A and B are shown apart, each in its own frame.
Chain A
Amino acid sequence: MSAVNEVRDSYDVAVVGAGPAGLTAATACAAAGLATVLFDEQPAPGGQIYRAITQTPVQRASILGNDYWYGARLVRDFQASRAQYVPGATVWSLSREREIGVSTGGAARLTQAKRVIIATGALERPFPIPGWTLPGVMTAGAGQILLKSGAMVPQGRTLLAGCGPLLWLLAWQYLNAGVKIDAILDTTARASRSAAWPHAPAFLFSPYFRKGLRLMLSVRRRTKVIAGVTGLRAEGNSRLQQVAYRTADGAEIRLPADTLLLHQGVVPNVNLAMSVGIEHRWDDDQLCWVPVVDGYGGTSVDGVAIAGDGAGIAGAWAAEERGKLAALAAIRALKPDTRQDILPDEANIRLALAKVERGRLFLDRYYQPAASFRIPRGDTIVCRCEEVTAQQIIDTVALGCTGPNQMKSFLRCGMGPCQGRLCGLTVTELMAQTRGVPPAEIGHYRLRPPVKPITLGELAALPKDEAAIKAVVRG
């Protein structure tokens, strides 16, 4: 691996994202002799799950657990490869012709790739409850990042709330580290649980089954878990002071709190893929937009593949295999005469993939967050950047807005710096519910570059041709 920050004019393969999918994809492409670059916005490789693995101060292996340390191997293999690694690199545009706009160290530039593998992973599903913008409220993923990368843990009265495997994992890691958790407010919906049971037998054979069960039991032994929570609210005057909720038997409870960590699953990070016009579909099990991909991650845009959770949530082990499959397709296209023993072994990959994907539907259904936590009402903020409430969005439907794009121009919802990442799904589902049509009919914001902000100065310094200049300069 060469870690020069010098971005070249062109590559055979450009991979975006240094999580498990991106790491294996880049390693395999480089092994086949393709000129490969891996861009990642973070300062170190690992993505979200293996965040800071090369530099975490948390050296007591028992805190983060074996599944975290497993990632060190992926990073080592990548580091041993000939791929170029560019950390601190934000990819802010991708064109259909596979021209990539990337920013490092405050300078933007353009580079061209024959193949692009998008491995930008997942982000946490929005959790729009009253008060979720108060300081003191953050995502469970954020809490975990502070732990992995800075050995930092919450102090004072700490509550975790929501549903999904990551919430339990974080609780387990905190407890291992000696953190006191006041309570876990479990919002898993009864309806979701019953919808999941038919898929339980398949899940029994999933590698996640035993792990998950053991972890959950271990957490339950060590801290208070309150099931069937509804009506969750964060309250406080300019910072979190208490958390209010309703119990399964209808009692209204208020707990004083300094930190509230929220989580209700992860969803694909689709902004880059959508901005280049890759076709997406609404997934009724995962309740999110998912790119339409073939068996190798290939998309509706020629030469652009998506690997890992960005192509649909399946977890880190699957991401690793899907990264290799995307690499395989790139190698076959660019170097068809590559020797068999250098190519990733497709049969093995598919076997491994089948194993880790077994029973996925059970997890999807079991942890499907309840509608009341996805589709807020009243004054609850939906768009954190522009401070737009649920009721305002509902009112635009009465004005004739049929989808997010007209609504956005009426309310500025989704126009802030996060570019709809924290409100897009909420908006789609909220408008669908209000209009009484399926989310697929509502659609998503139309996204355009830059998918991440760059400075005007950076943009101004890019190369431009005569036609571009003529299109702008006038008398």
Chain B
Amino acid sequence: MFQRLPDAGDLAVAITIDGKPVKARAGDTVAAALFAAGIDHCRTTPVSGTPRAPYCMMGVCFECLVTIDGVGNRQACLVPVQEGMSVETQRGKREIGR
């Protein structure tokens, strides 16, 4: 569970997470926006189906995989948010063609 310091300033970027509209800060990565939105886990694993959340925030662990604008398994901690972006949390194995 994370919150913003007053320093964060304006939340000017509108995105959706699992269809729900959310405001993010320009410069946020998608992973930061997920935390800010209070998302508890971003995926369940393809092996056992247990929930996972971003762990390293620096592109190393691949725990932050989500579907961004229809493309699955993208590293949320490396992708900056963009106006209108659609983010979806994932379940298990990636669907083919997504």
A and B directly contacting (CB within 8 A):
yes
Residues of B within 8 A of A (CB): 1-5, 7-9, 25, 27-29, 32, 35-36, 40-41, 45, 47-48, 50-63, 65, 73, 77-78, 80
Contact of B55 among A58, A138, A150 (CB under 8 A): A138
Which residues of A are found within 8 Å of B41, using beta-carbon distances? Answer: 135, 238-239
Contact of A41 among B45, B47, B52, B59 (CB under 8 A): B59
Say yes or no: B7 contacts A387, CB within 8 Å: no
| Further pairs besides A60-B7, A153-B4: 12, Cβ < 8 Å | A123-B60, A133-B50, A142-B55, A149-B28, A149-B32, A150-B32, A151-B4, A151-B9, A152-B3, A154-B1, A418-B62, A422-B60
Contacting residues of chain A (127-161) with chain B, CB-CB under 8 angstroms: 133, 135-139, 141-142, 145-146, 149-156
Say yes or no: A156 contacts B1, CB within 8 Å: yes
Say yes or no: A135 contacts B27, CB within 8 Å: no
* Complex Cα spacing A384 to B8, Å: 32
Say yes or no: B52 contacts A135, CB within 8 Å: yes
4 closest A-B pairs by beta carbon, nearest first, are A135-B53, A142-B57, A151-B8, A417-B62
Query: A299 near B: Cβ within 8 Å?
Result: no
Number of A-B contacts defined by CB within 8 Å:
137
What's the minimum C-beta distance from B72 to chain A, rounded to whole angstroms?
Answer: 11
* Complex Cα spacing A124 to B61, Å: 10
Query: A232 near B: Cβ within 8 Å?
Result: no
Query: A386 near B: Cβ within 8 Å?
Result: yes
Residue of A nearest to B10 (CB): A57
19 A-B contact pairs sorted by A residue (CB < 8 Å)? A123-B56, A123-B60, A138-B53, A139-B57, A141-B58, A145-B57, A152-B4, A154-B3, A155-B2, A155-B3, A238-B41, A384-B55, A387-B47, A417-B62, A417-B65, A417-B73, A418-B60, A418-B61, A421-B61
Say yes or no: A152 contacts B35, CB within 8 Å: yes
Contact of A57 among B8, B40, B52, B61 (CB under 8 A): B8
Query: A99 near B: Cβ within 8 Å?
Result: no
Say yes or no: B32 contacts A155, CB within 8 Å: no
Query: A23 near B: Cβ within 8 Å?
Result: no
Say yes or no: B27 contacts A150, CB within 8 Å: yes
Contact of B27 among A149, A418, A422 (CB under 8 A): A149
Say yes or no: A41 contacts B78, CB within 8 Å: yes
Query: A43 near B: Cβ within 8 Å?
Result: yes
What's the minimum C-beta distance from B3 to chain A, rounded to whole angstroms?
Answer: 4
* Complex Cα spacing A342 to B78, Å: 36
Query: A66 near B: Cβ within 8 Å?
Result: no
Query: A348 near B: Cβ within 8 Å?
Result: no
